[in-house]
Structure 1
Amino acid sequence: MGTDSRERMVRSAAYLFRERGYSGTGFRDVIAHSGAPRGSIYHHFPGGKVQLAEEAVRYAGEFLNAGIAAAVEGGDAASAVDAFVGWWRQVLIRSEFRAGCPVVAVTVESHEDAPQLATATAAAFGRWQDTLATGLGNAGVPDERAERLATLIVAAVEGATILCRAHRDVRPLDEVVAELKEMARAAAGDPA
């Protein structure tokens, strides 16, 4: 029962949370999706579904953050917005608007009896905001404004993703992105 099975289960949980939500995803689903041996899920996640969800959120957060960090390095202010949005747009289209953000799914379904899930989701959102703020700052946006704008980008893109799923159309995301890019350029003093 190696770490390969464990990693597959964590990735599968993140994937399934995107489409089914936290409550709609069970251990049986994760085992089937990952192809891991049945007993291995209890071996690797003795803390149960909460432990698996916490690790899936951490994985999803780090995965997206790595993409943001690579894209904002040395870019302009608008590229910080593009870095966060590009992946979501692909996820929406490829899933035919069935998939959203696994971090959001766990956030909205977290229960008071599992405070570690709220901590994990807050950490993921915080990393994205910090990375975006750093990218905006490197592009010339003053630090305090960069932090506020990074928060707005995360909140607006997550909200737009939900609207896209509801409307089964990427237009809400595209419209939000256009506005965010204008704001980012203006904040950096770049001509539009």
Structure 2
Amino acid sequence: MTRTIFEKPDVLPLVTEVFRELGYEGASMSKITERTGLSKGSLYHFFPGGKSEMASEILAHIDQWFTLNLFEPLENNEALSAIDQMWQQIDVYFQSGQRICLIGAFALDETRDRFAAAIRQYFIRWIETLSAALVRTGLSQEAAVRISEETIVGIQGGLVLSRALHDESFFGRTLANLAQRVSTAIAESGPPR
């Protein structure tokens, strides 16, 4: 049975979850229609460029979410509150570790080359915005970049292990440990500049 959906914003989350579950290569048009309940005609109506266009729009949608909820607050808000907000937003977005990082997954398979610029920009912007916020708390640029890189590696690793271990609490513990490390580094750096 096909679904009746009239707007593209209604379709994008359905398609995104198929890509999250099956990856780019595994998400054939037949699998997408089967799992979303949408006909191929409906999918091509919304995404005339097919699967590649779907993935591009998904990546753009993810980028918009991260820009609004993480990157802009880290760039524009008071640094400590923006960093605190980052932990909360990450936990919500990744559903306490039960939702994979689709951009991270795309970075690991053949999709990486097809969407290299978007994947690279996602991780670079996250490192840069977190680093800039950390510098505003008083850390040196070198320490801020190192801590930002370690934090994002920890988040990505936490997502993988949380799902691999089927342990929802693992990701929460990972975020708490990372937040503590960041807080300790900030406290040891002295007053903000």
TM-score, length basis structure 2: 0.73
Paired position in structure 1 for 2:16: 14
How far apart are 1:177 and its partner, in Å? 2.4
Aligned length: 181
Paired position in structure 1 for 2:3: none
Seen in structure 2, the aligned counterparts of structure 1 residues 136 and 176 have a Cα distance that, compared at 3 Å, is same
Letter in 2 for 1:79: D
How far apart are 1:158 and its partner, in Å? 0.9
Paired position in structure 2 for 1:101: 101
Seen in structure 2, the aligned counterparts of structure 1 residues 81 and 180 have a Cα distance that, compared at 3 Å, is farther
Identify which range, 178-187 or 79-88, moves more after superposition.
Answer: 79-88
Q: Deviations over 1:48-97 (max 9, x none)?
A: 312221221221132133222466422428516514532255253xxxx4
- Counterpart of 2:26 in 1: which secondary structure? coil
How far apart are 1:168 and its partner, in Å? 0.9
Which structure has the bigger radius of gyration?
A: 2
Seen in structure 2, the aligned counterparts of structure 1 residues 127 and 10 have a Cα distance that, compared at 3 Å, is farther
> What CA distance in whole angstroms lies between the structure 1 residues aligned with 2:56 and 2:113?
10
Q: Which has the higher contact order (CA 8 A, sep 6+)?
A: 1
How do 1:1-192 residues align onto structure 2 when only pairs under 5 Å count? 5-31=7-33, 38-69=40-71, 72=74, 73-76=77-80, 79=84, 82-83=87-88, 85-88=90-93, 90-92=95-97, 97=98, 99-111=99-111, 115-189=113-187
CA root-mean-square deviation: 3.1
- Counterpart of 1:133 in 2: which secondary structure? helix
How far apart are 1:19 and its partner, in Å? 2.6
Letter in 2 for 1:142: S
Identify which range, 72-81 or 150-159, moves more after superposition.
Answer: 72-81
How far apart are 1:34 and its partner, in Å? 5.8
Q: Which has the higher helix share?
A: 2
> What CA distance in whole angstroms lies between the structure 1 residues aligned with 2:15 and 2:122?
16
How far apart are 1:163 and its partner, in Å? 0.3
> What CA distance in whole angstroms lies between the structure 2 residues aligned with 1:129 and 1:163?
22
- Counterpart of 2:134 in 1: which secondary structure? helix
How far apart are 1:44 and its partner, in Å? 4.2
TM-score, length basis structure 1: 0.74
> What CA distance in whole angstroms lies between the structure 2 residues aligned with 1:131 and 1:35?
39
Structure 2 gaps of 5+ residues are 1-5
Identify which range, 135-144 or 35-44, moves more after superposition.
Answer: 35-44
Seen in structure 2, the aligned counterparts of structure 1 residues 26 and 53 have a Cα distance that, compared at 3 Å, is same
Letter in 2 for 1:178: A
> What CA distance in whole angstroms lies between the structure 1 residues aligned with 2:11 and 2:142?
39
Structure 1 gaps of 5+ residues are none
> What CA distance in whole angstroms lies between the structure 1 residues aligned with 2:120 and 2:67?
14
